[in-house]
């Protein structure tokens, strides 16, 4: 018994460190508030350093050699290459989020704000580790519940409260849908263990899908579509992004996508050769392909077309986030769909949908968090950066910020020499080489939408470099957030020139 407990603790040690650090924040933070109701000036810097230290220790523990443990019908966790990848991107992007949030919160609220962020990152990791529906749902809620608090703590004026309430109500509805779908999934399979669940579907070749399972797939995909901001569950994003603080908008642009896509990968699994060769055989992945195909098409077009109409930078980035969810759904659609095994295009060396999705997820996280960090670093209390006009002449008032912004916007556009180019290219090739009409249609729609998105991204660069500034004074810069911007820009360029280490690791995930 003690050996099993030690083994379980070693599997989730990085997450335990993050949760323990967050609990320290909540336990100690209130005692540092003086009798006047105010914390000591500058104490937010200490909490920022403490959060970075927790992420560093968790990252060090993640790099320690631990055996990859095959999931069983008894184990609540599974440790595989996907867990390694999720830990990598959550800890790396979590560092950028801490730097972005550094000066976005007050000294009084810094402990609680950073605690919520650490809880959210731990929850995202536990989603990848989960090998049970109950554990998976608890991990999803460990992401959702601290997010409500993070949104409220970050901004408490009327617009901030409205944004928090909108996200809270719709997120609760999303969680109810997911839990409802899990109940039907359990009713069909008779188990909550994911390994046993997929084993049941593999051994029983149903001639037709049970109605309960159809309801389960629809409700689970619908509930998780809210988290990844897929159409038609996207409508909250622009209002929430605009109404909340920049650090909270940065969090919402990426971490819920990690949670949603990883949960879908764990639940749906991947199609097997039997699904392509036996007419009576099917699994969750193969049956959800058409639904994800429609979501991908609608999400890409709605996000990009509505982004063209936006003047507010955060609303524009919200619609951009929706469009990028559509791009990622292209990879997921390819990953869960049965390939055309007799087509020459689907050779052994072709690009799989799952590695392409995960590579793009990492690239998108680096670029979008960098843009939000730039907004946080350049905003001033007397003049926040709200509309695209506020970027006018940035190349004159803040040349370094304009250059870094251009690099990150090139990455979101998908232009070299940034990792965004490789991300879109791998998604396109994975869809085109899938060997099916569905895959080629997705590839064509992806190319069209990349061209549409280029207009509003390059328009922002044009405003920074071609329009005169409305403010001749040099912009002040929030140093921690600007460090985060620099790290993201460097990472985007570095991944373009040296992507092999990450791609080879993701090939093992796809295998």
pLDDT at residue 95 in the model: 94
How sure is the predictor about 308, in pLDDT bands with cuts at 50, 70 and 90?
very high
Highest mean pLDDT among 25-34, 77-86, 324-333 belongs to 324-333
**Residues 477/377, Cβ–Cβ less than 8 Å:** yes
d(C-alpha 359, C-alpha 353), whole Å: 10
| 92-105: average pLDDT | 91
Residue 282 has what pLDDT? 52
Tell the burial category of 428 from Cβ atoms under 10 Å away from its Cβ (0-12, 13-18, 19+).
Answer: buried
Q: Is the pLDDT of residue 424 over 70?
A: yes
* From 67-71, 333-337, 438-442, the region with the lowest mean pLDDT: 67-71
Give the whole-angstrom CA distance, residue 17 versus residue 420. 32
pLDDT for the residue numbered 245: 87
CA distance 486 to 489: 5
Q: Is it the case that residue 50 has pLDDT exceeding 60?
A: yes
Residue, of 115 and 2, whose pLDDT is higher: 115
Q: At 209, is the pLDDT very low, low, confident or very high (cuts 50, 70, 90)?
A: low
Nearest to 492 by CA among 426, 411, 399, 375: 411
Q: Is the pLDDT of residue 368 over 90?
A: yes
Name which residue leads in pLDDT, 311 or 3: 311
Mean pLDDT: which of 193-202, 261-270, 317-326, 380-389 is highest? 317-326
Residues above pLDDT 90, as percent of the chain: 41
Beta bridge partners of 130: 77
DSSP characters over 412-443:
HHT-TTSHHHHHHHHHHHHHHTT-SHHHHHHH
- At residue 348 the predicted structure's pLDDT band, cuts being 50, 70 and 90, is very low
pLDDT classification of 324: cutoffs 50, 70, 90: very high
Which of 60 and 381 is assigned the larger pLDDT?
A: 60
The stretch 189-202 carries a mean pLDDT of: 80
pLDDT attached to residue 2? 46
Q: What is the mean pLDDT of residues 26-47?
A: 81
pLDDT value, residue 345 = 43
What's the whole-number average pLDDT of the chain?
84
Look at residue 356 and tell me whether its pLDDT is greater than 60.
yes
Question: Model confidence at 300, in pLDDT bands (50, 70, 90)?
Answer: very high
Domain boundaries, the chain: 285-511
CB neighbour class for 10 (10 Å; exposed up to 12, middle 13-18, buried from 19): middle
Q: Which of 40, 92, 13, 19 is nearest to 362 (CA)?
A: 92
Q: What is the pLDDT of residue 146?
A: 93
361: left (phi over 0), alpha (psi -120 to 50) or beta: alpha
pLDDT at 276 over 80: no
42 backbone dihedrals φ, ψ, rounded to 5°: 85, 5
Give the per-residue pLDDT at 339.
61
Q: What is the mean pLDDT of residues 117-125?
A: 94
With a cut of 90, say whether residue 233 has pLDDT above it: no
What is the model's pTM? 0.91
The pLDDT, as a whole number, for residue 494 is 93
pLDDT of residue 378: 86
Is the model more confident about 74 or about 156? 156
**390-404: average pLDDT:** 87
Question: What is residue 509's predicted lDDT score, i.e. its pLDDT?
Answer: 77
pLDDT at position 404 over 70: yes
pLDDT given at position 125: 94
Tokens of 138: 């608890």
Q: Is the pLDDT of residue 346 over 70?
A: no
Query: Residue 475: its pLDDT value, please?
Result: 64
Please check the confidence at residue 75 and state whether its pLDDT lies above 80: no
Residue-level pLDDT at 218 = 87
pLDDT class for 275, splitting at 50, 70, 90? very low
Q: Quick one: pLDDT at residue 196? A: 82
Residue 278 confidence (pLDDT) above 90: no
Give the C-alpha distances (Å, rounded to integers) separating 433 from 11, 409, 440.
36, 28, 8
What residues does 154 pair with on adjacent strands? none
Residue of higher predicted confidence among 250 and 269: 250
Residue 268: the pLDDT is 83
State residue 274's pLDDT score. 45
Mean pLDDT of 54-76: 74
For residue 458, the model assigns a pLDDT of: 92
Task: Evaluate the CA torsion angle 230, 296, 270, 506 in order and state its sign.
Answer: negative
């Amino acid at each position: 018994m003690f050996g099993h407990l030690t083994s379980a603790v070693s599997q989730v040690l990085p997450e335990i460190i993050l949760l323990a650090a967050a609990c320290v924040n909540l336990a100690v933070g209130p005692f540092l508030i003086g009798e006047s109701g105010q914390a000591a000036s500058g104490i937010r810097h200490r909490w920022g350093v403490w959060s970075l230290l927790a992420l560093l220790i968790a990252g060090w523990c993640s790099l320690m050699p631990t055996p990859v443990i095959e999931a069983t019908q008894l184990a609540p966790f599974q440790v595989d290459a996907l867990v390694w990848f999720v830990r990598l991107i959550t800890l790396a992007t979590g560092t950028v989020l801490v730097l972005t949030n550094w000066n976005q919160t007050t000294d009084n609220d810094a402990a609680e704000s950073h605690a919520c962020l650490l809880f959210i990152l731990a929850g995202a990791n536990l989603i990848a580790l989960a090998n049970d529906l109950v554990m998976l749902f608890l991990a999803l809620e460990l992401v959702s519940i601290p997010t409500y608090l993070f949104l409220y703590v970050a901004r408490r004026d009327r617009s901030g409260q409205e944004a928090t309430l909108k996200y809270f109500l719709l997120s609760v509805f999303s969680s109810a849908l997911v839990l409802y779908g899990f109940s039907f999934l359990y009713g069909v399979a008779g188990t909550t263990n994911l390994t046993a669940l997929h084993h049941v579907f593999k051994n029983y070749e149903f001639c037709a899908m049970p109605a309960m399972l159809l309801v389960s797939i629809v409700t689970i995909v619908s509930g998780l579509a809210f988290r990844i901001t897929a159409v038609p569950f996207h409508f909250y994003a622009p209002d929430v992004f605009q109404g909340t603080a920049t650090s909270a908008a940065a969090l919402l642009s990426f971490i819920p996508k990690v949670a949603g896509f990883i949960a879908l990968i764990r639940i749906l699994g991947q199609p097997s050769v039997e699904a392509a060769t036996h007419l009576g055989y099917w699994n969750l992945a193969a049956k959800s392909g058409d639904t994800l195909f429609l979501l991908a098409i609608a999400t890409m077009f709605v996000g990009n077309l509505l982004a063209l109409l936006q003047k507010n930078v955060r609303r524009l980035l919200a619609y951009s986030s929706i469009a990028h969810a559509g791009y990622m759904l292209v990879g997921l659609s390819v990953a869960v769909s049965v390939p055309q095994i007799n087509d020459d295009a689907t050779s052994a060396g072709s690009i799989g949908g799952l590695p392409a999705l995960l590579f793009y997820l990492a690239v998108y996280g680096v670029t979008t968090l960098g843009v939000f960090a730039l907004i946080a670093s350049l905003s001033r209390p007397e003049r926040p950066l709200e509309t695209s006009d506020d970027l006018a002449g940035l190349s004159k008032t803040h040349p370094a910020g304009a250059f870094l912004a251009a690099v990150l916007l090139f990455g979101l556009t998908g232009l070299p020499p940034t990792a965004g180019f490789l991300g879109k290219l791998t998604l396109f090739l994975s869809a085109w080489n899938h060997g099916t009409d569905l895959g080629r249609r997705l590839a064509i729609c992806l190319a069209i939408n990349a061209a549409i998105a280029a207009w509003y991204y390059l328009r922002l660069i044009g405003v920074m470099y071609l329009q005169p500034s409305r403010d001749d004074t040099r912009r002040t810069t929030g140093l921690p957030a600007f460090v985060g911007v620099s790290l993201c820009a460097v990472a985007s360029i570095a991944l373009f020139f040296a992507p092999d280490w990450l791609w080879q690791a993701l090939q093992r995930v796809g295998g």
